[in-house]
């Protein structure tokens, strides 16, 4: 019988590898997501902070300083919103790639399962056919054996009847008739024995078919259970790797937000240094 336990690792490895590559390796879709530093919002904030540093010793009115504060907050908020948008976009791409890889992995496992089940069906169909062939062969042997016995007995009966017809004495005729009766009884007994042997053969054949069907069902269940286990393992790997990817994205966004906060503080410090004209 095919060993599904031996085949499971080979079914799982390509799927798991496919999932890992799709999640951990840079993809075309991931490459299409630009870094925050290349966005217009980020560059606008950086340029505005530089401008504020350039105005650090240039007198200005209180209303202008208040305007600088408002502009700085707006540009900082725009950069934060852009960071959030890029993060959400990256999450969607990671989710789509993970799901696509998971589905491909499941397909690999199920395709392997289908191949194994087909091989099992072929194997047990062959065993069923062999059992049927053996049954027919044994049935033919029994029928031929008893047909030969009966044919021999009938020839002897025919010979004895001719012999009886030509017998000269009543004693001989009586002996011949007794011999004929014994052979007739033997024919009846042989036919009864033949039916008993055929009945026993049928019982054995039926039990063999039931055993084959039970073994087939058990092997099929084992393959399906092993494949379900492989899919569950793949699902766990999917979640683990996807969550690791999300943690990486979250860490990256935290760094971006910290960078934006530093630039906001730098801008505010520059505004504080701008003197107010009298």
Domain boundaries, the chain: 4-273
Phi, psi of 60 (to 5 degrees): -150, 170
Greater pLDDT, 97 or 180: 180
0.85 cut: is pTM over it?
A: no
pLDDT at 211: 87
Residue 276 sits at the vertex; the CA angle it makes with 271 and 277, to the nearest 5 degrees, is 145
> How many angstroms separate the CA atoms of 91 and 29, rounded?
11
Q: What is the chain's mean pLDDT, rounded?
A: 85
Q: What percent of the chain has pLDDT over 70?
A: 88
49 CB contacts (<8 Å, ≥6 apart)? 72, 263, 266, 267, 270
For residue 278, name the pLDDT band (cuts at 50, 70, 90). Answer: low
Sign of CA dihedral 24, 25, 26, 29: negative
Residues linked to residue 60 through DSSP beta bridges, in sequence order: 276
Phi, psi of 32 (to 5 degrees): -80, -10
- Quick: pLDDT tens for 196-239: 999 999 999 899 889 888 888 888 888 888 888 888 888 888 88
User: Is pLDDT of 158 > 90?
Assistant: yes
Contact 274, 68 (CB under 8 A): yes
CA distances from 170 to 7, 41, 58, 184 (A): 83, 133, 158, 21
């Amino acid at each position: 019988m095919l060993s599904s336990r031996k085949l499971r690792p080979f079914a799982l490895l390509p799927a798991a590898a496919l999932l890992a590559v799709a999640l951990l390796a840079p993809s075309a879709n991931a490459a299409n997501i630009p870094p925050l530093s290349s966005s217009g919002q980020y560059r606008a904030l950086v340029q505005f902070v530089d401008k504020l540093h350039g105005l650090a010793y240039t007198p200005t009115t209180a209303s202008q300083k208040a305007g600088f504060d408002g502009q700085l907050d707006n540009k900082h908020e725009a950069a934060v919103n852009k960071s959030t948008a890029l993060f959400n976009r990256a999450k969607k791409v990671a989710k789509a790639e993970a799901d696509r890889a998971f589905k491909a992995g499941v397909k690999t496992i199920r395709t392997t399962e289908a191949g194994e089940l087909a091989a099992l069906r072929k194997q047990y169909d062959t065993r069923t056919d062999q059992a049927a062939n053996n049954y027919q062969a044994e049935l033919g042997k029994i029928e031929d054996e008893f047909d030969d016995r009966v044919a021999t007995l009938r020839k002897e009966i025919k010979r004895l009847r001719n012999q009886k017809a030509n017998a000269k004495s009543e004693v001989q005729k009586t002996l011949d008739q007794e011999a004929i009766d014994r052979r007739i009884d033997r024919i009846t007994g042989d036919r009864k024995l033949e039916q008993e042997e055929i009945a026993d053969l049928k019982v054995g054949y039926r039990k063999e078919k039931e055993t084959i069907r039970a073994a087939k069902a058990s092997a099929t269940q084992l393959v399906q259970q092993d494949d379900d286990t492989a899919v569950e393992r793949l699902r766990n790997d999917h979640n683990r790797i996807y969550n690791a990817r999300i943690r990486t994205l979250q860490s990256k966004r935290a760094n971006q937000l910290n960078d934006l906060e530093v630039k906001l503080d730098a801008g505010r410090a520059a505004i504080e240094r701008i003197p107010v004209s009298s």
